[in-house]
Amino acid sequence: MIFKRLNYQVLQNLRLEGYNILLTGGRVEDETPIYFPMKLTSLDMEDILIESKTKNMFQGQSIIILDEAIQRSLNNDLSGIIQFDD
């Protein structure tokens, strides 16, 4: 596993790689939340739930649209780390 600090450049690279959402591994209120980048073909809630079950994720996670995360990172309103499975 690879961990990278969440910042504007990392988020932009994720967008270029086709990712469009971030899923938290815990609560967004955690001091240092861990985000998992995901690619969805549509942002339909049913797709998100199916994708979450496929990846063995837990209920209660927060979903952040990548474009929103990029905007929030510009305002220093988002912190945490991103976990990659490489």
pTM value surpassing 0.75: no
73 lies in which domain range?
A: 2-84
- Compute the chain's Rg from CA coordinates: 12
What digits encode the pLDDT tens for the residues 8-32?
Answer: 999 999 999 999 999 887 665 667 8
Q: Cα separations (Å) of 46 from 3, 35, 40, 80, 85?
A: 28, 20, 11, 26, 24
47: helix, coil or strand?
helix
Per residue in 22-64, pLDDT (tens digit) is 988 766 566 788 899 999 876 555 555 555 544 444 455 678 8
Top pLDDT among 50 and 67 is at 67
Looking at the 3D structure of the chain, how many domains does it have? 1
